[in-house]
Amino acid sequence: MTRARARWAAMFGVAAAVSALLAATGWLAPPASRTAGARQPDSCTVLQAETERDHAPTTLRLLSLPSGATQRVTEAGYWINAMGYSAEQDVVYGVADGTGRGRYDHGAHAVRIDSAGTVTDLGVLGRAGARHPMWSLVTGATAGTIDGNRWYVRQDSDLYTVDIDPASADYLRVVHRTALRPVTLAAGVDDFAYDPADGLLYGVSTTTRGGGTVVTLDPATGKVEPVPGERFPEGGAYGSVALGPGAIYATANRDGHRSVTYRLPRDGSGPAVEIATGPPLASSDAAGDCPTEPPPPPPSSPPPPEPPSSAPSATPTPTPTPPPSPTTPEPSPSSRQEPPPPPRPPPVERPVVLPPTTSTPAPAPPPSATPSPTPSAPATSRHARPAPKPQPVAEDTGRRTQEQRRWGLTALILVLGGGAAAAHVRRHR
């Protein structure tokens, strides 16, 4: 334990001694459920900022969880909100909008609170890259928490990331802005706490849609979602939120004429119960280093089957079945009885062979004529079956026809000439 943490523990030890006095004066009025909560072994302490009136100085108190016992630390002299605890630096950072003398000229300042309760003004909470002080983007912020060197601050419907690494050039500068959606849930979140188990921010939304529902805010995407089954009583703003072992704690600033701190089991095993009450508040905030329970482990899968023993087994070795032959599938019974005829090949188209052109139609060649072979046309496909050769037309058909005509005409002239000569001889006898 560091010296600073020891001082925090010593301060809480005093709180336990004066808890009875606080109960008598009305600062601590625990309900009957507090006794059961006090017997829980896990506990932690958070720093709570309480402001009773607008623009009034903030009072810093130590709040013990889950008992609800509180102890006044100091009056800060600043209007502090949106606090976050840095475990690495063992300090609390907060947003201060002003002092008892009024608001700051350039908007919100960053303040640091150490374990002794000393508050230090660190100057304007500016933006990264700005050379001169500008109006702070986080002025009026109401929710804050820290994860490592990232300080998440909600102002209106925006989530700003502030660098709190003292060695960084952007120390105490806004380095990122994320829009929160939907606004109907985000606008009513007045504080949240970071859960390292899932990297989400947990808060309570008090808008008309939220109605006291626990919601998660994703700092990477800005998505705001309700947590099923987790709800606080409807009422005013929940300005202080802290995560503890197995529960989420939230303080309603004003419930009638008092403020109320509730404990809500995170597993949905019961409703929210009161653990502490106090005077009504204009605003409040909380920051601390409370351990949270890790998420439940995923359901275990059944163990893998044990490998077979190396000892010889009495089980007979099954006869291996030969693999099916990669042949043509066995035909059906009907195809065995009457196999279908082989399909006829499709017709092959061939070019038409034309005979030589003559002046007169050529008669059919005589049967005795021996045709001379002519080359057949090539097939159009290499897979086509060769067709029978067509009967060629004899090339001398026309010539023989003309010779026959001439012989016939000669015979006719001889016959006619012979007849005329015989008649002439008869006349001259």
Residue 105 lies in a domain: yes
CA atoms within a 13 Å half-sphere pointing along the CA-CB vector of 324:
5
Please, which pLDDT band fits residue 376 given cuts at 50, 70 and 90? very low
Q: What is the distance between the alpha carbons of residues 163 and 165, in angstroms, rounded to a whole number?
A: 6
Residue 354 lies in a domain: no
DSSP notation for 107-175: S-EEEEE-TT--EEEEEE-EETT-SS----TTTT--EEEEETTEEEEEETTEEEEEE--TTSTTTTEEE
Residue 252 lies in a domain: yes
| CATH classification of the domain holding 55 | 2.120.10
Residue 415 lies in a domain: no
Number of domains in the chain: 1
- pLDDT at 154 > cutoff 90: yes
* pLDDT score recorded for residue 142: 96
Share of the chain above pLDDT 70, in %: 58
Length of the chain equals: 429
Mean pLDDT along residues 102-125: 95
- 184: buried, middle or exposed (CB in 10 Å: 19+, 13-18, 0-12)? middle
Residue type (1 letter), 364: A
Residue 423 lies in a domain: no
User: How does pLDDT run across 227-283, given as a tens digit for each residue?
Assistant: 999 999 987 899 999 999 899 999 999 998 999 999 999 998 999 999 999 999 999
Which whole-number Å values give the CA distances from 101 to 78, 98, 285, 336, in the listed order?
Answer: 10, 7, 22, 109
Please, which pLDDT band fits residue 287 given cuts at 50, 70 and 90? very high
* pLDDT score recorded for residue 54: 85
Please, which pLDDT band fits residue 402 given cuts at 50, 70 and 90? low
User: How does pLDDT run across 175-190, given as a tens digit for each residue?
Assistant: 999 999 999 999 999 9
* pLDDT score recorded for residue 79: 94
Q: Which 3 state secondary structure label does DSSP give 219? A: coil
- pLDDT at 394 > cutoff 70: no
Contacts for 246-249: CB closer than 8 Å, 24+ residues apart: 246/42, 246/293, 247/65, 247/66, 248/193, 248/202, 248/214, 249/65, 249/66, 249/275, 249/286
For the chain, what is the mean pLDDT?
75
The parent domain of residue 18 ranges over 3-288
Q: CB of 255 within 8 A of CB of 261?
A: no
Residue 337 lies in a domain: no
Residue 329 lies in a domain: no
Question: Which one has a higher pLDDT value, 425 or 292?
Answer: 292
Q: What is the distance between the alpha carbons of residues 408 and 397, in angstroms, rounded to a whole number?
A: 17
Residue 343 lies in a domain: no
Q: CB of 290 within 8 A of CB of 242?
A: yes
Please, which pLDDT band fits residue 405 given cuts at 50, 70 and 90? low
Query: Where do we find the tokens 């279908």?
Result: 340
- pLDDT at 387 > cutoff 80: no
Please report which helix (H) or strand (E) contains residue 242, including its range.
strand 238-244
